[in-house]
Amino acid sequence: MRQPPRARPRLSDAETERRVVDAALRLLAEQGITVGLDGLRFEDVVRAADVSRTSAYRRWPSRDTFVADVLVALARGTELTGIGDRIGDEVGALLAADTVDLRSPQGRHDLFVQLLRLSFQTDVEGTLSSPEFHTYLALRAAFVGVPDDDLRDEIAAALAHSERRAVARGRVVVAGAARLLGMRLVPPLAGDDGYTLVARAVSAASTGFAVSALADPGLVRTTRPLAPFGSTRTAPWSVPALTLAGIVLTHLEPDPDAPVPTLDDLTTGLRALIDAGAHAAATAE
């Protein structure tokens, strides 16, 4: 016997909106993006979201209002799912190596350089492999073409907030890692404001590399064996990782008064920094 059609559960207006916008973002990640979202059909989105057509059309009576909400949602950015775990695993493997020497200033410097390399390379590779980030980066590059002044301003505000989240995360992670490994800011930078400046520079450069890598993935994936920044350890470096690490290391120096960390304290502290960075991003204003 033919089964009766499945009854769709009644959803709140807020849940309907969330499902439709999420479905639109997924479809954009698959199809690519234009400023006007020309290829995104509302009917396809409603079907993918599995919501009532009546409820969807009540929320968005015109295509223009739907497109505006999707563009603003896209501008708010997304998180790289699992990126913290990947970086944590890379860091854990590095710390577990017998070659880590925390007793000497050179050993701590070598470790800090490698931590920067691993973190930045994992971050840019994650961005490059994420379809959601592809659409986000495309909007960053093209939102100035939005003809509606109010909508363009709203998108700009959402992009700025997304940037503040990235800076907040970077500031916490870089400052915490530097302190754990006995580094400090060089004059005239001082305190958290100095780390904010460094994090802003890193975030802006990261975005530039990510946008460039959309057309040339080899920019991220091609590496050379190097031992840069006074390190004694040769490792595979990409252009983005080398540049971003250079931005950080330019503004840091060894702190002669810093205590020497134990391996257990360092392992626990660095993993805690990943969570602290995620929290800082989530709560950034």
User: What digits encode the pLDDT tens for the residues 55-80?
Assistant: 999 999 998 899 899 999 988 877 66
139 with 18, same domain?
no
61 with 98, same domain?
no
- Report if residue 55 sits inside a domain: yes
150 with 126, same domain?
yes
Residue 8: both structure tokens together: 């769709």
Half-sphere exposure of 186 (CA within 13 A, CB side): 8
- Report if residue 258 sits inside a domain: yes
| Residue 102 pLDDT | 85
With beta carbons less than 8 A apart as the criterion, state whether 161 and 284 touch. Answer: yes
With beta carbons less than 8 A apart as the criterion, state whether 237 and 224 touch. Answer: yes
The per-residue pLDDT for range 166-207, each reduced to its tens digit, is 899 999 999 999 999 999 999 888 766 899 999 999 999 998
43 with 156, same domain?
no
Global pTM reads 0.84
107 with 204, same domain?
yes
d(CA 137, CA 135): 5
Which of 75, 101, 122 is the endpoint of a domain?
75
126 with 262, same domain?
yes
Say what the alpha-carbon torsion angle 130, 95, 225, 220 is, to the nearest 10 degrees: 10
d(CA 133, CA 180): 31
125 with 216, same domain?
yes
203 with 251, same domain?
yes
68 with 170, same domain?
no
- Report if residue 104 sits inside a domain: yes
With beta carbons less than 8 A apart as the criterion, state whether 74 and 146 touch. Answer: no
108 with 230, same domain?
yes
Which of 38, 55, 75 is the endpoint of a domain?
75
Which residues constitute the domain of residue 56? 13-75
Residue 54: both structure tokens together: 């009546």
Cis peptide before 254 (omega within 30 of 0): no
- Report if residue 3 sits inside a domain: no
130 with 196, same domain?
yes
d(CA 236, CA 14): 47
- Report if residue 1 sits inside a domain: no
Which of 55, 75, 95 is the endpoint of a domain?
75
The per-residue pLDDT for range 225-265, each reduced to its tens digit, is 999 999 999 999 999 999 999 999 999 999 999 999 888 88
- Report if residue 2 sits inside a domain: no
- Report if residue 6 sits inside a domain: no
SS3 state at 195:
helix
199-237: b (≥16 Cβ within 10 Å) or e? bbbbbebbbebbeebeeeeebbeeeeeeebbebeeebeb
Into how many domains does the chain fold? 2
Burial class of residue 61 in the structure, from the number of CB atoms within 10 Å of its CB (0-12 exposed, 13-18 middle, 19+ buried): exposed
- Report if residue 169 sits inside a domain: yes
Alpha-helical (H) ranges within the chain are 13-31, 42-49, 53-59, 63-75, 83-96, 105-128, 131-142, 149-180, 191-215, 218-221, 239-250, 263-282
Half-sphere exposure of 187 (CA within 13 A, CB side): 0
Label residue 132 by pLDDT band (50, 70, 90): confident
67 with 90, same domain?
no
